[in-house]
Amino acid sequence: MVQRAGHLGEFNAALAAMAGAERSENRRTRWPRVNERRLRSMYLIGIVLNAVALVYAALDGALLFAGTFGLVMAYLGVRYWMVVSDSGPGG
């Protein structure tokens, strides 16, 4: 039983080492972080594109698609508000 617990400890240590190596590898190959200004502009572009799609869908008579674009716009609007309100003064 003691011997088995020792092997389990070695196994857990090996898993932790592999996970640590994987995390450090991901840090090297990860995309650069998006700053708040770029994130705000991406949300605004998404809102505008969804507004255009909503208008075209509504004019075409596809009200289900128009409603979906409206929901996506609302979601992006909430996310934009969260980013703006989180940035604090001056940012």
- For residue range 15-58, what is the model confidence (pLDDT) as tens digits? 677 666 555 555 566 677 888 888 999 999 999 999 999 999 99
43 shares a domain with 66? yes
Tokens 């992006």, residue located: 76
17 shares a domain with 57? no
Residue 10 above 70 pLDDT? yes
87 shares a domain with 48? yes
Q: How many domains are there within the chain? A: 2
Tokens 């898993």, residue located: 15
Could you list the residue range(s) of the whole structural domain that residue 45 is in? 34-91
The predicted structure's pLDDT at residue 34: 80
81 shares a domain with 56? yes
- Model pTM above 0.95: no
What is the spatial distance between Cα 73 and Cα 75, in angstroms, rounded to a whole number? 5
